[in-house]
Amino acid sequence: MNADDFPTPDVDVETVDPETLKDRIDAGEDVTLLDARMQSDYEEWRIDGENVTSINVPYFEFLEDDIDEDVLDQIPDDLEVTVLCAKGGASEFVAGTLAERGYDVNHLEDGMNGWASIYEAVEVERYDGAGTLLQYQRPSSGCLGYLLYDDGEAAIIDPLRAFTDRYLEDADDLGVDLQYGLDTHIHADHISGVRDLDAEGVEGIIPEAAVDRGVTYADELTTAADGDTFQVGDATIEAVYTPGHTTGMTSYLVDDSLLATGDGLFVESVARPDLEEGDDGAPDAARMLYESLQERVLTLPDDTLVGGAHFSDAAKPADDGTYTASIGELVEEMDALTMDEDDFVDLILSDMPPRPANYEDIIATNLGQNAVDDDKAFTLELGPNNCAASQDSLAGD
């Protein structure tokens, strides 16, 4: 049976929207989840948290009239349980089946697809440049973006295609004109929104150094070379070439206050170096990354904030709720930033996580070599980003 074709339960099942579930988790409530997806999907990507108890029982276990007692024994009968699946169909059926047996259950609206639609904007309070800086956060994949606005103008760094309308609506609500959409590099974990924003009249900007990877649309957009600047009200965004994660990786220094590092440096880790050139090219890319970090990033003032394009479960938010940290803080906390080059290279190559799901198709799409519709684009990027080296080996004690 297809997970989208389940009959409607005979009992009413309460639906919980993704934002409400996240609010409960963020508030520290104890939450029990029954994930009805296949085990392989569950192991790759799921909702976690210190106060989240997650149980995986695939939906097919509930198809028989006589459900195995071993299955039911896994599900607490004295707690509220939220059932979830990929899109919401299977979870409604499973929740109804359990409700008929007296369990206190509800189900997650639109399943993990709904979870992937959550996108929050949090102000970076330690930013002290001109204007206001917001960090967009997508908890399902850990994707981060940055909206700078000042004096009626705005720019978005590392926009996601799935949220193109959101950026335009937010700019309208703020009473500002979205001038620029800037990509730090050719992303491997999500579909970029730069071209879609450009089609809406926003000037799309990609790193000049990324064009040689096979970008098919470079002539239609603006390219940013090292040192180029873009004015947003009284604030200045400067391109800082920082190759390593990719050969075209370019950070953006936002009014000398925050460096949007893309996938070069995160608050809990550094970039993985193998997504462009593979395993054979990873050692040279790692050395390139080391040079970029030592000569282009860590030479900035210690109070310069770093904001990457991702965060993982290992990342701890700052007091303002953003995934940002000062360069001084990162140097103190991350051993990899104070190693010599050989040790650095050995370390980040020693324990890299699995590559992002569908990364080859995503890269080809972001290069303009593949064309996919919005539904396909959304599906391609579901799951964890995995663009960082292993956090376990990089963090300090």
Catalytic, out of 83, 85, 260, 334: 85
Residue 296 three-state SS: helix
Instruction: Point out which residues pair with 52 in neighbouring strands.
Output: 31
Residue 62 three-state SS: helix
DSSP 8-state assignment for residue 294:
I
Residue 328 three-state SS: helix
Phi/psi of residue 373, each to 5°? -80, 175
Residue 296 CA to residue 172 CA, distance in Å, equals 35
- Contact 323/307 with Cβ under 8 angstroms? yes
List the beta strands (DSSP E) in the chain.
14-16, 31-35, 52-56, 81-84, 105-108, 120-123, 132-138, 143-150, 153-157, 177-182, 203-207, 222-224, 229-232, 235-241, 250-254, 258-262, 305-308, 325-326
- 85 among known catalytic residues: yes
Q: Which residues are catalytic?
A: 85
